[in-house]
A and B are shown apart, each in its own frame.
Chain A
Amino acid sequence: MALRESATFGRGVIDDIQRAAETGVYDIRGWGAKRAVPHFDDLLFLGASMSRYPLEGYRERCDTDVVLGDRNARYPLHLQTPVTIAGMSFGALSAQAKEALGRGASEVGTSTTTGDGGMTPEERGQSKHLVYQYLPSRYGMNLADLRKADAIEVVLGQGAKPGGGGMLLGQKISDRVAEMRTLPAGIDQRSACRHPDWTGPDDLAIKILELREITDWEKPVYVKVGATRTYYDVKLAVAAGADVVVVDGMQGGTAATQDVFIEHVGIPTLAAIPQAAQALQELGLHRKVQLIVSGGIRSGADVAKAMALGADAVAIGTAALIALGDNSPRYAAEYEALGSAAGMYDDFQDGRDPAGITTQDPELSARLDPVEGGRRLANYLRVLTLEAQTIARACGKAHLRHLEPEDLVALTVEAAAMARVPLAGTTWIPGVKSHA
């Protein structure tokens, strides 16, 4: 008789149980959710033909710029492409990687973002538009850097771990990282999951007021949430005064989080966008308070789909690291020596990244040339933008922002229900009353 693997207790599950039994600790890792969830791959565009008119591929303009945070700030951000770089901390990433992100983003006129751990001079110096994260830990938070920022992002959560705080394991707490965080070097560092000086949306409104007062109403204030009760969270963030809302779906990357958290908490990006767009529309503020979406953005098609569902811009984390060289087959032998493989490496918490990106080791991080890394990232960002433009023109749009849900259909019933677009070839949107 053929051998039969259990669907409930598969080999992966058996591995997990045995690992837990051996070590007595849960698995902490980087990357994002690895399970399959309904995603942008389950959507398709309806190109124009008779009923809609396409734009000429290489002749007619399709603009890509976006203004972020013009509701209250004297100096909103004006980006040339709606693809931004998500917040990733110095500490999680090497100083070289941070600098490369700044260089690549600046080359194509988009923004980059600090992370849990403060602002480094390398990053500020190389980033034309730098968003400064305001996190519960307030590591490295200071008045001078706040005033150097181009925008402030109040972080309530991340898609990889909505409701969770941060952690940076001791092997990555180098002297420089420790000093920036005012902590002893080498300890396993926890960061809080709740802000220390405000609780709930009414307090957040006052906190945002304070940040505006401190920075003389110059800078846009973003609020970032992990996708869970997105409809309500977006409404509350806007009520608290957010100029921009960042929604990070459950596939979003992380530097170090419990595997159980990554895989089991939060909702897919696809399900979160329509909720966020609906909340903004009901407030009469869609496109006035901008929506940035992240979590699993890989291609220009993903960018276009997120925007068609209502995003004004997207943010990328994992894909940006891959563009820098993360998981490259070039390091196959070294990944194997670490018990991993090129294409599967997710031990960002471990600090031994052969690609020199998620490490504080001086030798490893020296492998990443920030200029070359920046060039690669800029190339990748250009490709994303060109791809999104290609699709937008085919849909007859002279600006990426003009993409709309009516341009989309879904391949599966699940995706149709989550994205609130019809199942391909039908008028059926599960859960939405048909007017046809």
Chain B
Amino acid sequence: MESMTFDLSTTTVRALNAELHDPSVKSYEVLHPEGAHAVAAGIDSGVAVDVHGHVGYYCAGMNDGGSVTVHGNAATGLAENMMSGTVRITGDASQSAGATAHGGLLVIEGSASMRCGISMKGVDIVVGGSVGPMSAFMAQAGRLVICGDAGDGLGDSIYEARLYVRGRVGELGADCVEKEMRDEHRAELAELLAAAGLEHDVTEFRRYGSARRLYHFTSEHSGSY
């Protein structure tokens, strides 16, 4: 058997995840998720999972190596704390997509809500549409590409993550500044767009990152903490 199908209208998320943690085949189809939570969470191998429909919170949570595609929308915490692998969603993602993720690639073909990439620690996130406010809050490492607009507070208290935005940016968060787009940045952006399968002119993007003014406590910055 090459592929296995789980119909969540007749079986449980528990049965699905138990199989995915100890997989007997390489690819899986998941039907009728109907907003179920923690779908395909905790994968630690290179399995491929196609989910047909909308998922609830924490889909592909902590993914470590799997390729999960959601043909629909996702609720809060999509691919939270991903370690490696790929998570792709054809629709929109709710809050905190890619939160604290350490690695891998998260592609959101639609838009993402607030706090996209919050506390990200090395993941690459590519959003086809726009992101809500407070995205990349305390973002530590990795790259966030936004092909649409970014809401207010982008990159607040950001550390070393790099942000690329094509559209409009609201008010920047504390210590987040626009930075020069050099050749190496255009090159990495082109790579990320290609990996995500999105076509855009890299010269339309601007780059944002940390001014590194909050790296050491001083009372002069008390208004920013």
Query: Do they bind each other?
Result: yes
Q: What is the interface of chain A, defined by CB distance below 8 A to chain B?
A: 24-25, 137-138, 141-144, 146-147, 167, 169-170, 181-184, 187-188, 190, 192, 196-198, 203, 206-207, 209-210, 213-217
Q: Which of B62, B122, B215 has the most CB of A within 10 A?
A: B62
Q: What is the interface of chain B, defined by CB distance below 8 A to chain A?
A: 13-14, 17-18, 21, 37-38, 41-42, 44, 56-58, 61-62, 64, 76-77, 80-81, 83, 95-96, 99-100, 102, 115, 118-119, 121-122, 137-138, 140-141, 157, 159-160, 215-220, 225
Please state if A210 and B61 are interface contacts (CB–CB under 8 Å). Answer: yes
Please state if B17 and A213 are interface contacts (CB–CB under 8 Å). Answer: yes
Q: Which residues of A contact B119 (CB under 8 A)?
A: 137-138, 192, 196
Return A204 CB to nearest CB of chain B, in Å: 11
Please state if A197 and B42 are interface contacts (CB–CB under 8 Å). Answer: no
Please state if A206 and B216 are interface contacts (CB–CB under 8 Å). Answer: no
Question: Quick one: given A184-B215, A196-B119, are A210 and B58 in contact (CB under 8 Å)?
Answer: yes
Our pick among B80, B102, B138 for the contact of A192 (Cβ within 8 Å) is B138
Please state if A210 and B76 are interface contacts (CB–CB under 8 Å). Answer: no
Question: What is the bound-complex CA distance between A197 and B98, given in angstroms?
Answer: 9
Q: Which residues of A contact B118 (CB under 8 A)?
A: 196-197
Return A408 CB to nearest CB of chain B, in Å: 44
Interface of B is mostly: loop
Please state if B56 and A196 are interface contacts (CB–CB under 8 Å). Answer: no
Q: Which residues of B contact A198 (CB under 8 A)?
A: 57, 76-77, 96
Question: Can you sample 28 A-B contacts with CB below 8 Å?
Answer: A24-B218, A25-B217, A137-B119, A138-B121, A142-B64, A142-B81, A143-B62, A146-B62, A170-B215, A182-B102, A182-B121, A182-B122, A183-B160, A184-B159, A187-B159, A188-B217, A196-B118, A196-B119, A198-B57, A198-B96, A206-B37, A206-B38, A206-B57, A207-B58, A210-B58, A213-B38, A213-B41, A213-B42
Q: Which of B13, B41, B225 has the most CB of A within 10 A?
A: B41
Question: What is the bound-complex CA distance between A209 and B38, given in angstroms?
Answer: 8
Our pick among B83, B96, B160, B218 for the contact of A197 (Cβ within 8 Å) is B96
Question: What is the bound-complex CA distance between A190 and B137, given in angstroms?
Answer: 12
A-B contact count (CB 8 A): 117
Apart from A184-B215, A206-B38, A216-B18, list 15 A-B contacts with CB within 8 A: A25-B217, A142-B62, A143-B42, A169-B217, A183-B140, A190-B138, A196-B96, A196-B115, A197-B76, A197-B99, A197-B100, A198-B96, A207-B57, A210-B38, A214-B17
Return A200 CB to nearest CB of chain B, in Å: 11
Q: Which residues of B contact A137 (CB under 8 A)?
A: 119
Q: Which residues of B contact A146 (CB under 8 A)?
A: 62
Q: Which residues of A contact B57 (CB under 8 A)?
A: 198, 203, 206-207, 210
Question: What is the bound-complex CA distance between A182 and B160, given in angstroms?
Answer: 9
Question: What is the bound-complex CA distance between A24 and B220, given in angstroms?
Answer: 9
Question: What is the bound-complex CA distance between A196 and B169, given in angstroms?
Answer: 22
Q: Which of A146, A169, A170, A213 has the most CB of B within 10 A?
A: A213
Question: What is the bound-complex CA distance between A192 and B137, given in angstroms?
Answer: 10
Question: What is the bound-complex CA distance between A292 and B53, given in angstroms?
Answer: 42
Return B212 CB to nearest CB of chain A, in Å: 8
